[in-house]
């Protein structure tokens, strides 16, 4: 594997010219990848405002019969005013959009699907999402393990990582956390990740957004270098400076979802001049083109008519006819695959009819035959990333545990030296209720606020084929378990010691089990709520009535034994009921006698079993309570996993 290392941030025009010549000579020897799209129209469904259960999907057309082509060795800029459909077009031709699409997307004249495109392309999003606590090298290692062929040797993988870091000027910050990187460094890191497999097709969504002029030019120059190495690079870009715009080889101008121009950079000026739209010499060409295609406030109707006229003029221009000829030529020379149906079934077999078939097979078969890591390997590296993230966020985690212990201290202090008498029954039972309630709320809401932050990363990485939803969700389940057990054990120990509850060491261990099980089931409940809803606010809104009802049936507010059959079943879906009953059984089963008051007219509960009966609990229900908490844990995680799978298939990624 050869690494091109550029010492400077910029390349001279003379150097670019020599490299252009070298590439053109090589292109004469061998054709590369050609991506075409014809008559592409896209409709995206958007939610109308309304109640949660009364919303309607509104279908909006974003693209209207868009044509274009991206050849190996070209750097194509997709430009247009805001709302023109640039990102939608990029996501559509890269097969990374969730919407209604009509038209044809072809690679070397053959239709392709999202699985094929994932293998042969990289996508650099406008906003990169990653676990911020990882360092640059750790992030690259994680991505390489899941993106590159599983048969790749460790030495080759490390060489590839080092090569890309050096080539993109990231060597000096390889031990820097992602959260501490500058905007330009993050863009180059995103580019490095997508180049791990050295794909022949690269998509970049506004790679210069948020960067200063120097960093922006540096990034585009890198893209130009990669294009000159034989890749087809397609970028959306918003008002680039003149020096940056001139680095592109081709431009596609969009206006209201239609093509206003497609062709070489130099041809764009000639086309607009023919329309009597002459760019002033002191004005940036890119800004001039976009200004002609923008809809100005207060002049919507006039601007819309002008845009329609410009698009109509392009359709009748020689540049449109030239584009049509290129598309037709590409359709006729289908030299890559045997048949299109093989692509949809992921049976990619290269069989070429011309004399260069073996060279082309070598070019593409290596991407199509990439063997993804096994699910157990995906699970291992996902757990590794989770553990590193937890370790790096140690102070924050310690602060959370500290607050949890503070709650235990505040909760137990009023119950110091509990007396088991007629007046103390309510005190003991109140403590049992608070122990479980606080545990469930603490662990469920902690997941509410942490899990949604990872959902965008999860959806994007699944869409890029990095791993499957199963290993990810299983890794979260496994990582959450130790925290739930250890923290609940510390919490219970503090309360048990301060309040002086009944029992020795063995009874203490049995007392910890229901509390830990309540914490574990609460994390599962938090996972399903955060996985099913896009925001913490919505998840909390839905969760409040559920918790209100299940909390009511915990046994403290209702005498469960007197409930009618039509509502008594609700207790069996309540974590609060199972947890409170279990620890109540452990405490009251040990008490055979409770002293009655001297006044015979006052009510008397003379034993622990009578206390349990008074609250509607059954002394032999301990195993049932454990099974109930375990069932809630399993059912919640199954529902959470289904929600993740559903969102990964339906929710837009870009």
Tell me how far apart the alpha carbons of residues 581 and 518 are, in angstroms, rounded to a whole number.
Answer: 12
pLDDT, greater one: 2 or 99: 99
Q: What is the pLDDT of residue 20?
A: 43
By percentage, how much of the chain surpasses pLDDT 70? 86
Q: What is the pLDDT of residue 367?
A: 65
Residue 223: pLDDT over 50: yes
Q: What is the pLDDT of residue 363?
A: 54
423-444 pLDDT tens trace: 778 888 889 999 999 999 999 9
Q: What is the pLDDT of residue 295?
A: 85
DSSP-derived secondary structure for 195-231:
TTT--SEEEEESTTTT--HHHHHHHHHHHHHHHHTT-
Range among 360-374, 562-576, 594-608 rated most confident: 562-576
Q: What is the pLDDT of residue 364?
A: 60
Tell me how far apart the alpha carbons of residues 622 and 560 are, in angstroms, rounded to a whole number.
Answer: 16
446-484 pLDDT tens trace: 888 777 778 888 888 888 888 999 999 999 999 999 999
Residue 307: pLDDT over 80: yes
Nearest to 459 by CA among 209, 96, 45: 96
Range scoring the smallest mean pLDDT among 137-141, 241-245, 556-560: 556-560
Q: What is the pLDDT of residue 49?
A: 53
Range scoring the smallest mean pLDDT among 25-29, 110-114, 132-136, 571-575: 25-29
CA distances from 579 to 425, 550, 608, 609, 626 (A): 18, 12, 18, 17, 8
Using the structure block, give the residue that is written with the tokens 């559509």.
92
- Rounded to the nearest 10 degrees, the angle between the axes of helix 136-147 and helix 183-194 is 20
Mapping DSSP to helix (H, G, I), strand (E, B) and coil, where does residue 178 land? helix
By percentage, how much of the chain surpasses pLDDT 90? 37
What are the backbone dihedrals phi and psi of residue 74, each rounded to the nearest 5 degrees, phi first?
-105, 150
Pairing status of strand 34-47 against strand 100-107 = antiparallel
Cα 282 to chain centroid distance, Å, stands at 43
Q: What is the pLDDT of residue 604?
A: 78
- Rounded to the nearest 10 degrees, the angle between the axes of helix 575-588 and helix 536-552 is 40
Mean of all residue pLDDT scores within the chain:
82
Q: What is the pLDDT of residue 100?
A: 84
Residue 64: pLDDT over 70: yes
Q: What is the pLDDT of residue 636?
A: 94
Cα 590 to chain centroid distance, Å, stands at 51
Range scoring the smallest mean pLDDT among 345-354, 486-495, 531-540: 345-354
Q: What is the pLDDT of residue 651?
A: 67
Q: How many CA atoms lie within 13 A of 568 on its CB side?
A: 9
Encode 19-80 in three state secondary structure.
Answer: HHHHHHHHHHHCCCCEEEEEEEEEEEEEECCCCCCCCCEEEEEEEEEEEEEEECCCEEEEEE
Q: What is the pLDDT of residue 24?
A: 38
Residue 607: pLDDT over 90: no
Confidence of residue 652 (pLDDT cuts 50, 70, 90): low
CATH code given to domain 13-45+71-368: 3.40.50.300
Confidence of residue 634 (pLDDT cuts 50, 70, 90): very high
Residue 408: pLDDT over 60: yes
Q: What is the pLDDT of residue 523?
A: 94
Task: Find out whether 467 and 146 touch, Cβ atoms under 8 Å.
Answer: yes
Residue 28: pLDDT over 50: no
Q: How many CB atoms lie within 10 A of CB 328?
A: 12
Alpha helices in 413-467 (DSSP H): 424-463
Cα 570 to chain centroid distance, Å, stands at 36
What are the backbone dihedrals phi and psi of residue 235, each rounded to the nearest 5 degrees, phi first?
-130, 145
Residue 162: pLDDT over 60: yes
- pTM for this entry: 0.80
Q: What is the pLDDT of residue 366?
A: 65
Tell me how far apart the alpha carbons of residues 207 and 219 are, in angstroms, rounded to a whole number.
Answer: 7
Q: What is the pLDDT of residue 97?
A: 80
Residue 356: pLDDT over 70: no
Confidence of residue 233 (pLDDT cuts 50, 70, 90): very high
Token pair recorded at residue 117: 């495109």
Residue 533: pLDDT over 60: yes
What are the backbone dihedrals phi and psi of residue 287, each rounded to the nearest 5 degrees, phi first?
-65, -35
């Amino acid at each position: 594997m050869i690494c091109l290392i550029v010492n400077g941030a910029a390349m001279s025009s003379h150097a670019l010219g020599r490299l252009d010549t070298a590439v053109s000579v090589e292109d004469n020897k061998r054709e590369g990848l050609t991506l075409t799209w014809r008559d592409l129209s896209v409709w995206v469904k958007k939610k109308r405002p309304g109640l949660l259960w009364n919303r309607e999907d509104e279908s909006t057309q974003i693209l209207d019969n868009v044509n274009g082509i991206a050849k190996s060795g070209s750097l194509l800029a997709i430009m247009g005013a805001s709302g023109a459909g640039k990102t939608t077009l990029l996501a559509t031709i890269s097969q990374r959009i969730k919407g209604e699409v009509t038209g044809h997307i072809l690679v070397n004249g053959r239709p392709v699907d999202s699985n094929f495109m994932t293998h042969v392309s990289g996508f650099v999003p406008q906003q990169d999402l990653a676990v911020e606590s990882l360092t640059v090298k750790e992030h690259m290692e994680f991505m390489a393990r899941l993106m590159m062929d599983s048969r790749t040797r460790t030495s080759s993988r490390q060489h590839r990582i080092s090569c890309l870091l050096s080539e993109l000027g990231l060597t000096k910050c390889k031990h820097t956390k992602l959260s501490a990187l500058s905007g330009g460094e993050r863009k180059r890191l995103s580019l490095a990740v997508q180049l791990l497999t050295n794909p022949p097709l690269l998509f970049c969504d506004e790679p210069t957004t948020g960067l200063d002029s120097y960093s922006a030019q540096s990034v585009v120059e890198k893209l130009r270098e990669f294009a000159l190495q034989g890749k087809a690079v397609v970028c959306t870009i918003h008002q680039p400076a003149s020096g940056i715009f001139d680095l592109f080889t081709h431009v596609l101008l969009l206006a209201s979802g239609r093509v206003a121009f497609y062709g070489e950079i130099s041809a764009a000026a000639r086309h607009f001049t023919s329309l009597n739209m002459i760019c002033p010499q002191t004005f940036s060409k890119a800004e001039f083109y976009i200004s002609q295609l923008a809809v100005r406030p207060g002049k919507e109707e006039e601007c819309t008519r002008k845009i329609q006229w410009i698009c109509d003029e392009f359709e009748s221009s020689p540049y449109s006819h030239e584009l049509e000829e290129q598309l037709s030529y590409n359709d006729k020379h289908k030299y890559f695959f045997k048949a299109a149906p093989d692509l949809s079934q992921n049976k990619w077999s290269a069989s070429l009819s011309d004399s260069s078939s073996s060279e082309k097979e070598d070019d593409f078969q290596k991407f199509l035959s990439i063997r993804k890591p096994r699910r157990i390997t995906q699970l291992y590296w996902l757990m590794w990333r989770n553990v590193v993230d937890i370790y790096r966020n140690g102070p924050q985690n310690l602060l959370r545990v500290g607050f949890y212990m503070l709650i235990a201290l505040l909760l137990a202090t009023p119950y110091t030296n509990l007396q088991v008498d007629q007046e103390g029954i309510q005190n003991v039972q109140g403590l049992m209720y608070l122990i479980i309630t606080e545990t469930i709320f603490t662990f469920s809401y902690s997941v509410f606020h942490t899990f949604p932050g990872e959902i965008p990363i999860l959806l994007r990485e699944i869409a890029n084929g990095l791993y499957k939803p199963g290993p990810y969700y299983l890794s979260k389940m496994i990582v959450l378990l130790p925290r739930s057990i250890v923290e609940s054990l510390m919490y219970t120990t503090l309360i048990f010691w301060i309040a002086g509850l009944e029992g020795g060491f063995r009874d203490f261990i049995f007392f910890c089990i229901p509390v830990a099980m309540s914490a574990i089931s609460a994390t599962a409940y938090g996972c399903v709520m955060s996985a099913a809803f896009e925001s913490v606010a919505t998840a909390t809104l839905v969760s409040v009535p559920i918790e209100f009802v299940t909390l009511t049936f915990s046994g403290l507010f209702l005498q469960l034994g007197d409930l009618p059959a039509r509502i008594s079943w609700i207790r069996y879906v309540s974590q609060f009921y199972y947890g409170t009953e279990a620890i109540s059984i452990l405490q009251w089963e040990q008490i055979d006698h409770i002293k009655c008051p001297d006044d015979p007219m006052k009510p008397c509960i003379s034993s622990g079993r009578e206390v349990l009966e008074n609250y509607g609990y059954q002394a032999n229900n301990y195993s049932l309570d454990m099974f109930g908490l375990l069932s809630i844990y399993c059912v919640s995680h199954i529902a959470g996993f289904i929600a993740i799978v559903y969102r990964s298939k339906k929710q837009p990624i870009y």
